[in-house]
A = this chain, B = another copy of it.
Amino acid sequence: MPVAKAESSSTTPTPRGRGRRGTRASGDDRERAILETAERLLEERPLSEISVDDLAKGAGISRPTFYFYFPSKDAVVLTIVDRLVAESGGSREEIITALAEGGPQAGFRVGLENLYAAFRARPGVVRAGTDLRATNQEARDLWAQVMEGWVADVTAVIEAERARGAAPPGQPARDLAIALVQMNERAQYATLLGESPSLEADRVLDVLIDVWLRAIYGTADPG
């Protein structure tokens, strides 16, 4: 597919990724209303108990009109999750700088803390995104891509720490990174949703970082 060539900017319909085929008028309000309704309802009940009609009603439109703005309920959720992921993405680079400034413990803590903070405020959205992976390939792909990004970052950090002699050799850095990132995903999700068993919200970071440091440095108290 060719990249859209620059069009006359004045009347260009602006096609937003997963949203509606381009428009410009007051329909923007409706689109926002749908997204806001979805975010609100997702904090009240799981995705499977929210119908397209609920979203339409909440946005003050009829069900067919909903389909003018989004191709499906899934697309709404993916749009919301996309944004949440984008918000949290900024914190990834913060790991690197925090590592350089504060050493390993502080670095990892800052990184994981920021990440966790981004999701903590909207557990319903996190749950919806997770649930969606059961039925939606696009949701699986999106999440796989997010995980791949974190794994790549962590792999790089581990390799750097080994190169400068701060961490001993061991399992391949990428393998270690995969296991640790997956542990975090699962543990933080369980804590966020209040599963049992799960780590207490105010202990989860302490415990996870302890495992990270021991796995990477061989001690809970490196340099």
Q: Which residues of A contact B (CB under 8 A)?
A: 46-48, 130-131, 134-135, 140, 144, 147-148, 151, 170-171, 174-176, 178-183, 185-187, 190, 195-199, 203, 206-208, 210-211, 214-215, 218-220
Query: What residues on B are CB-neighbors of A147 within 8 Å?
Result: 197
Is the beta-carbon distance between A179 and B171 smaller than 8 angstroms? Answer: no
Q: How far is the CA of A174 from the CA of B198 in the complex (A)?
A: 10
Q: Determine whether the beta carbon of A148 is less than 8 Å from that of B210.
A: no
Give the Cβ gap from A6 to chain B, nearest Cβ, in Å: 34
Given known pairs A48-B134, A131-B134, A206-B171, the reply for A199 and B179 (CB within 8 Å) is yes
When chains A and B are docked, how far (Å) is the Cα of A196 from the Cα of B181? 12
Inter-subunit contact A210/B134 (CB<8 Å):
no
Among B185, B196, B206, B219, point to the contact of A218 (Cβ < 8 A).
B219
**Main secondary structure on chain A at its contact with chain B?**
helix
Bound Cα distance A210, B210 (Å): 15
Q: Which of B179, B186, B195, B220 contacts A211 (CB 8 A)?
A: B179
A170 to B206, CA, bound (A): 11
* A182 nearest CB across to chain B (Å): 4
- One of B47, B195, B208 near A179 (C-beta < 8 A): B208
> Please, how many angstroms separate the alpha-carbon atoms of A185 and B220 in the complex?
24
Residues from chain B with Cβ under 8 Å of A186 in the complex:
182-183, 185-186
Q: What 9 A-B pairs are tightest by C-beta distance, nearest first?
A: A183-B183, A131-B134, A186-B186, A182-B186, A48-B135, A175-B207, A214-B214, A211-B215, A182-B187
In the complex, what distance in Å separates the CA atom of A187 from the CA atom of B215? 15
A182 to B175, CA, bound (A): 17
